[in-house]
Amino acid sequence: METIRTISWMKEAARQARADNHLVGFVPTMGALHEGHLSLVRRAKQECSRVYASIFVNPKQFGPNEDFAKYPRSFESDSTRFVELGVDALFAPPPEEIYPSGFSTYVNVEGISDRLEGSSRPGHFRGVATVVLKLFEIVQPDFAYFGRKDAQQVAVIQRMARDLNLNVQIAVCPIVREPDGLALSSRNAYLGPEERRAATVLYRALEAARSELSRGTRDSLQVQQAMRAIFEKEPLARLDYAEVVSADTFEPPVRVSRASYVLVATHLGKTRLIDNMLVEPIQADSNELQFHL
Ligand code: AMP
């Protein structure tokens, strides 16, 4: 596996792959790899004849009081894992390659970027959309693989791809979880043992939403209340939000009747974690729902 540090070299490798008629798959990450990331690579390997991954801890998507400096970095072991899975090249540029001095152009996906993660983390989605557009422009992939773990991020990227007529297809992969339900995240490494035990509160809240909906509840406030009740019983967790939103607009629906996300975010000590469940009617106009945790 080639490790590529410069934009010009990455562009040339990708140009060559396309000239050789390869279908190019791309998996952008911030490193500190876990099975969630690796599941994206495995899917890309199944569907594409060339797979590129990137590791770039993007300073523009972290707020001033967030964890950019201490975000876990494990380049050597990440690199080994990509090699084992057959990644063809790893793009790992230094920050100044992506943001040279005087950098001043940003992508702002309006509306959907403003709520939930966007309001808790001002500027976050502007940073995400900007770097993802740059990476797409450099790699020019046919398919790019993202995890549903970051459902709002996927929605922002899909909207950007549609609005800017990008040629890339966005593939969304399921959430990979620990046996006790906690979604894998590089930030789980920050949790102390007590916090780690308490962290299942996100999954437990989503399960409470699922049983409320299975019981026939369609009023989204009632579903939210069921989730809040779970958080109230977990003293280590400080709830940021527990909401139900429409899957395409991320606006809160009054009643859950179409595809929706149930989304939760919480602080556990200094660590902030998110999780979600996709809910959709079993058939187009069915009242019966299916749940994707
Ligand atoms: P990150 O390195 O956190 O930027 O994540 C890189 C990609 O991996 C994003 O598309 C994430 O949504 C995805 N990802 C992170 N955690 C998981 C998980 N537990 N299951 C599936 N995908 C994930």
Q: By alpha-carbon position, which residue is closest to atom 13 of ligand 1?
A: 147
Q: What is the pLDDT of the chain when averaged over all its residues?
A: 97
Q: Which residue CA neighbors atom 17 of ligand 1 most closely?
A: 36
Rounded Cα distance, 61 and 162, in Å:
21
Distance 147 CA to ligand 1 centre (A): 5
Separation of first and last alpha carbons in the chain: 34
pLDDT digits (tens, 9 = 90+) for 166-176: 999 999 999 99
Burial of residue 222, with CB atoms counted within 10 A of its CB: 0-12 exposed, 13-18 middle, 19 or more buried: middle
Residue ranges around ligand 1 (CB below 6 Å):
29-30, 36-37, 39-40, 146-147, 149-150, 173, 175-176, 183-186
| CA of residue 82 to ligand 1 center, whole Å | 15
Q: Which atom belonging to ligand 1 lies closest to the Cα atom of 175?
A: 20
Quick one: pLDDT at residue 35?
A: 98
* Beta-strand runs (E) in 30-91: 50-55, 89-91
What pLDDT does 285 receive? 81
Residue 252 CB contacts under 8 Å (≥ 6 apart), including other chains:
220, 243, 244, 245, 246
The per-residue pLDDT for range 80-127, each reduced to its tens digit, is 999 999 999 999 999 999 999 999 999 999 999 999 999 999 999 999
| Distance from Cα 285 to the centre of ligand 1, integer Å | 32
Res 72 pLDDT > 90:
yes
Q: How far is the CA of 234 from the centre of ligand 1 (A)?
A: 26
Q: What does the pLDDT read at residue 165?
A: 98
What's the pLDDT at 86?
98
Inter-helix orientation angle 75-85/35-47, to 10°: 30
Residue ID of nearest Cα to ligand 1 atom 22:
147
Q: What is the pLDDT of residues 39-69, one digit of tens each?
A: 999 999 999 999 999 999 999 999 999 999 9
> pLDDT class for 284, splitting at 50, 70, 90?
confident
Q: Decide if 205 contacts 242 (C-beta within 8 A).
A: yes
Q: What number does the ligand 1 atom closest to the CA of 148 have?
A: 12
Percent of the chain with pLDDT over 90: 97
Relative to the CA of 185, which ligand 1 atom is closest?
A: 16
**Atom number, ligand 1, closest to the C-alpha of residue 186:** 3
**Which of 131, 149, 170, 177 for a ligand 1 pocket mutation test, highest count of atoms within 8 Å of Cβ?**
149
pLDDT confidence of residue 286? 86
34 is catalytic: no
Query: Residues 34, 37, 124, 292: which is the catalytic one?
Result: 37
Query: What's the confidence (pLDDT) of residue 179?
Result: 98
Alpha-carbon gap, residue 136 to 68, rounded angstroms: 23
Task: State residue 254's pLDDT score.
Answer: 87
- Per DSSP, 268 falls in state E
The Cα 293–Cα 283 span in angstroms is 18
Question: If you average pLDDT over residues 1-27, what whole number do you get?
Answer: 98
Q: List beta partners, residue 265.
A: 241, 274
For residue range 232-276, list pLDDT tens digits in order. 999 999 999 999 999 989 999 889 989 999 999 999 999 999 999
Report if pTM > 0.75. Answer: yes
User: Which of 35, 40, 67 to mutate for ligand 1's pocket (most ligand atoms within 8 Å of CB)?
Assistant: 40
Q: Is the pLDDT of residue 12 over 90?
A: yes
Atom of ligand 1 nearest to the CA of 32: 2
